[in-house]
Amino acid sequence: MSKINEITIKIVEKWLRKGNMARCLRNVLPYTRLSLRERERIARAMHSIARWKRWYDFLIDYYELERSARTYVELATNKLKVDFEEAEKALPEEKRLAIRYSFSDYISGILEKNFPELIDYLNREPLTTLCVNLNKISREEAMDTLAEEGFKSKPLKLPTAILTEPIARYSSLIKEGKAHVQDEASQLVAKITSSLGRKILDYCAGTGGKTLAMASITRNVAKLYAYDIDKTKLDILKQRASLYKAKVKVIYKLGKTFDVVLVDAPCSGVGVARRNPEAKYIDKKTCEEFAEKQLSILEEASKRVKKDKYLVYSVCTFTPKETTEVVDKFIARFDFELYKIEHEGIKNGFTSLPEGDIFFIAIFKRAK
């Protein structure tokens, strides 16, 4: 058995015990002495196992295979030959889509009813998108750097977005603050937000993905403020902003009001299931819990919006509980009206980009 397979099996064993695939990869891969491309092969295999786990579980039961890490790895790498067509015929009709495409019953029901075009899309292995820091480098220069380092790339629709290989996460562009990894849909949310006013608060800033994107998109013209309940993340954001040469004021205590407040709220993450396949198995109860939290965050963030100005709500999910139902409840309870979004790449409130994740965005305008 190759060293790569041995390590992959070790990580799968850990994941089956503890969950959280990304953490399992972080805890093992950096210490393997493998090349970056070898590590990427392992990461792809792990993504495949998580992506198709419900289908693999069915195959294991149907063919009475050993339920072991090795079996999952052999299924994911096509080393274990099984007859998919025969197994598909044995699928229970009421769960056919959920099992064959590996979604929770809840998510498969939403997809089948509202988003059938996403069923295949969410099971594709994505490439990586970078957000170029236009305050330090042009997109063309960034692509030249990637080419010099041996990475393929191409420009996407947004002027800050480059599609490239996953391994380009290790490019000098990232280390030098000339770009950061960020899906084009996320960049689109930042672009729309930054178009609504000059004084902007990123209310759930985290470590600053959208904050840095807005600094790049506006060429540091916007007055950007970043806040998060997690102060450790804000400390990281401050360091990133310095490296990025981004004009961002990190605030640890709220008091001011703003032209635009962005709430990129915690969510189920099923809209980014191509990158985080574990999100495919989220259940209704969890989404309901997220929705309660999202509405609460919107209520607090709304206090920071000036009269006649804007509150932007975004989540990387498409469940009704976390999107349209949150919007309806917020409008019913608070003195805001829904502001119509007319922007290329947005359809019925959802991002629609050929290479992008699925985000939901709603804009509320505060009454005068």
State the catalytic residues.
Answer: 316
Q: Which CA distances in Å does 138 have to 69, 73, 159, 162, 217? A: 45, 41, 9, 11, 12
Cα dihedral value 313, 317, 320, 323, nearest 10: 0
Dist. CA 183–CA 130, nearest whole Å: 7
* Sequence letter at residue 275: R
Contacts of 192 (CB under 8 A, 6+ apart): 312, 341, 343, 346, 361, 363
* Sequence letter at residue 50: A
Q: Which CA distances in Å does 140 have to 6, 8, 40, 103, 161? A: 41, 37, 26, 39, 11
Cα dihedral value 268, 338, 190, 291, nearest 10: -10
Contacts of 103 (CB under 8 A, 6+ apart): 54, 97, 111, 280, 281
> Of the candidates 311, 312, 329, which has an alpha carbon nearest to the alpha carbon of residue 320?
329
Dist. CA 240–CA 223, nearest whole Å: 17
Dist. CA 128–CA 111, nearest whole Å: 24
